Copies of this chain bind each other. A is one copy, B any other.
Amino acid sequence: MPSKTSSRGGPVAKRRFLAPFAGETLAVPPIWLMRQAGRYLPEYRATREKAGGFLNLCYTPELAAEVTLQPIRRYGFDAAILFSDILVVPDALGQRLTFAAGEGPQLEPVRTLADLGRLDPGKTGDKFGRVFETVARLRQDLPDETALIGFCGAPWTVATYMVQGEGSTDQAEARLWAYRDPEGFARLIDLLVDTSIGYLDGQVKAGADCLQIFDTWAGTLPDSEFDRWVVEPTRRIVSTIKERHPTVPVIGFPRGAGASSLWYVSETGVDGIGCDTAMPPYMMGEAFDGENVVVQGNLDPLLLVVGGAAMDERVDEILELMDGKRFIFNLGHGIVPQTPPEHVARLVERVRGG
């Protein structure tokens, strides 16, 4: 089936990003950066302007594909990540969502079973379809050697925004609901598990060859809640996706989970573990060794703002620590808007031995 080979961009082995998942250690690790398509790039700001709003950008395949490709053209990263947002899932389910300019997301909060009842998994087709079209377009337009990462937010993190109605430092409303009425809250989580499975499955069918599950707010939960709302829902997503697509690696990114990431890895079955900026070196260099997992991380995005010798030194430390291991170079959190684009070029050069 030549059409498949061409639509999927050629044999997987061509894509060095995927090599660590196939058990290979590379002398030069693959590199991509969280939020590599973003406001630090002038061409991104121009395209976003043209789209007339952040959600329009996410839902217009031509423009979403364009901003996904921009950092690949500039830097030749080993992987592109679909440009989208973790809140596409609640938006597609029918929760009212807006992004005011310069502010975070605003959602009409879901706090009761009645609110939950108004969400409709049957409605997601149109919006998800546009994302899948973006993925398909990307797989056509990306260089053969560039992997394409699809993604979703983890149910816990997406739920914190859905229940709070906005970003927050303590995710209080979601945590309160989960304590007061764990069965009711579990219905929200279950809905997100099922919807996320369909969403990721569609991305793979459209051409994604790796998936990442972002769990930004995994780190603030007590142990038993971490297990119930982070680990268990992620395990269900990962196991179902792996049944359907055994060769597609899944990276989990439970930000702030620290040493609990070990438990997360062993229980969820992820193939890769994203490490945030604060993940200690002994975890990255040793603790994950027994877990048969690819380690990804973890340069502080603020060192990418600073650049120069301070950045170079830390990059070299990370490379030395992870030398001979199955490793993907990344940041510990997303690129921040004030990052000078030339520092990103220098970083890529440094990682590749320049």
| Known interface pairs A176-B305, A336-B172; A300-B259 also in contact (CB < 8 Å) | no
A306 to B180, CA, bound (A): 6
**A303 cross-chain contacts in B, Cβ below 8 A:** 179
A interface residues, tally (CB under 8 Å): 33
Within 8 A of B (CB), among A156-180: 169-170, 172, 175-176, 179-180
Minimum Cβ distance to chain B for residue A217 (Å): 11
Each complex incorporates copies of this chain amounting to: 2
Within 8 A of B (CB), among A279-308: 280-281, 283, 298, 300, 302-303, 305-306
**A239 cross-chain contacts in B, Cβ below 8 A:** none
Tell me if B256 and A219 are in contact (CB < 8 A): yes
**A260 cross-chain contacts in B, Cβ below 8 A:** 258, 278, 280
| Known interface pairs A176-B305, A176-B306, A180-B310; A226-B300 also in contact (CB < 8 Å) | no
Minimum Cβ distance to chain B for residue A86 (Å): 17
Residue in A169, A180, A302, A306 whose Cβ sees the most chain B Cβ within 10 Å: A302
Within 8 A of B (CB), among A4-18: none
**A219 cross-chain contacts in B, Cβ below 8 A:** 256, 278
**A170 cross-chain contacts in B, Cβ below 8 A:** 333
- A223 within 8 Å of B (CB atoms): yes
Query: In chain B, what residue has the closest Cβ to A318?
Result: B222
- A277 within 8 Å of B (CB atoms): yes
Query: In chain B, what residue has the closest Cβ to A219?
Result: B278
Tell me if B172 and A302 are in contact (CB < 8 A): yes
- A272 within 8 Å of B (CB atoms): no
A153 to B226, CA, bound (A): 29
**A176 cross-chain contacts in B, Cβ below 8 A:** 302, 305-306
Tell me if A300 and B223 are in contact (CB < 8 A): no
- The A interface, classified by DSSP as helix, strand, loop or mixed, is helix
CB<8 Å pairs between A and B, sample of 11 = A175-B302, A176-B302, A179-B300, A179-B302, A179-B303, A219-B256, A219-B278, A220-B277, A221-B277, A222-B298, A259-B259
Tell me if B172 and A277 are in contact (CB < 8 A): no
| Known interface pairs A221-B278, A277-B220; A306-B179 also in contact (CB < 8 Å) | yes
- Known contacts A180-B306, A258-B258, A259-B259; can you find 9 more A-B pairs with CB under 8 A? A169-B169, A175-B300, A220-B278, A222-B298, A223-B278, A258-B259, A259-B283, A260-B278, A260-B280
Minimum Cβ distance to chain B for residue A228 (Å): 13
- A233 within 8 Å of B (CB atoms): no
**A20 cross-chain contacts in B, Cβ below 8 A:** none
Task: Mark contacts of A135-159 with chain B using CB atoms, 8 A cut-off: 1 yes-contact digit, 0 otherwise.
Answer: 0000000000000000000000000
**A314 cross-chain contacts in B, Cβ below 8 A:** 222
Residue in A220, A278, A281 whose Cβ sees the most chain B Cβ within 10 Å: A278
Query: In chain B, what residue has the closest Cβ to A302?
Result: B175
5 residue pairs, one from A and one from B, having the closest CB atoms: A258-B258, A259-B259, A179-B306, A175-B302, A223-B280
